[in-house]
Structures are given as structure tokens and as C-alpha cells.
Homo-oligomer: A and B are copies of this chain.
Amino acid sequence: MPKTITPFGQSLRERKKLKTREAIQREATRLFQKQGYEATTIEQIAAAVEISPSTFFNYFPSKEDVVLYDAYDPMVATLFESRPSDEPLSVSVHNVLEMLTDTLERDREIILARSKLILETPDLRARLWSEIERAQVFFGAMLAQRTGGDANDFEFRVVAIALVAAMMEAASEWVRLEGRVKMGDLMKRALDSISADSMLDAFSSRRK
């Protein structure tokens, strides 16, 4: 048993591990972009990183996870949770996106490339949706917290999934537009579309 708890990433072991993890993601992404996701084999990635194929699976449970794994995910979650719980969720969404504007701008190229890869590759796209189910649970909890209800209620689940799906479409649109517009604005438009009148309009057509 170690005498002192070694801070994360401080020991040689931890640093090496992190470096390897990043190297795998970097090389994998590079190869995916160069020759396509499906045309790239684990063997090729392993060769590029100079590790054995076995080691690859020590770091990522599947080929898909190399792309899907998002380091910013927990950060975004934290940002949301730090928002005052009496703030309307739509406003929170916008605010969180505002806080992320700089990061989004700085890493635009990388994020865009990665997102495109996901959107264009059926396998990855399918897997994305299971990430979305995690988001559904998260936002369901947020909604419940804000209204004092039970997150497991059918209504919350419905609103949460619709919300997340809409945000997903906004993100796709952002990618389609090469990140030329602010993601926060797209999210706002998306949320506006499904809430309030416009949704009803679309629903009930010329009746109103």
C-alpha cells in the first residue's frame, strides 16, 4: 500500500498512460480521416502508436470508443450543475454554451473533424444515440430539479428526450455549417422551435 496518495497523473505510470491514450486517439483520428473509419484496422492504429493490438483494447473497449470518448463531457455536466436551479433550463443551455464559446472557437477544427467523422459513419452515428440516452437522463434530472418533480415521470422523460434530440440536431447543423455560426444561437433557435408557438403551428397547420 502506498504511503501517500499520489496525485492523478503525477507518477510515471499515470503520465505514460495518459500519453499513450492521447497518442492512440491522435493516430486513430488521423488514420480515420486519411483512409476512412472502416478501412482503418486496429492493427494499423496499433502500429502507428507502436503498441500491440492487445494494448489498444486496454485503453478503449472498442474501435468506436476512440472517437466517441469525449474528455469535455464531464466538464459540460459540471457547468450545467453549477447553474442556479431557478434558472430556466433553456437559459441554462444558452449560458453554458456561452461559457464554452472560447473553447469551441479554439478547438473548432478538431471538434469539427471529429463530429463530421461521427455523423458520416453509420456505426458511430448509431453509437452516438446511446450517448444521447445518457444525456436524456441527465436533462431529465435537471428538469425534475427545476420543477420539483420526479425525474422518472413519463412526462419528464419525454420532454428530456425531445430536448436532447433537438439539441442534437442543432449540433449537427453547426457541423454542417462548418462552425461558422455560434452553437449557442443554433441551440436557441432549436429550443425556440420546439417550445411555444412555432411547434403548435407546425402541429396544427393552418388552423391555429
Tell me how far the C-beta of A71 lies from the nearest C-beta in chain B, rounded to whole angstroms. 22
Interface size on A, residues (CB 8 A): 51
Min CB gap A132→B, angstroms: 8
Chain B residue with minimal CB distance to A177? B154
Is A99 an interface residue, CB under 8 A from the partner? no
- Oligomeric state, in number of copies? 2
Q: In the bound complex, what is the Cα–Cα distance between A146 and B190 (angstroms)?
A: 20
Asked whether, in the complex, the Cβ of B193 is within 8 Å of the Cβ of A155, the reply is yes
How distant is A192 from chain B, measured CB to nearest CB, in Å?
9
Does A23 make an interface contact (CB < 8 A)?
no
Q: How distant is the Cα of A33 from the Cα of B157 in the complex, in angstroms? A: 28
Q: Which residues of A contact B (CB under 8 A)?
A: 85-91, 122, 125-127, 129-130, 132, 143, 146-147, 154-159, 161-166, 168-170, 173, 186, 189-191, 193-196, 198-207
20 other A-B residue contacts (CB within 8 Å) besides A147-B206, A157-B173:
A86-B205, A86-B206, A88-B207, A143-B202, A146-B202, A147-B205, A154-B173, A154-B193, A158-B166, A158-B170, A158-B194, A159-B199, A161-B166, A161-B169, A162-B162, A162-B166, A162-B199, A164-B165, A194-B194, A199-B199
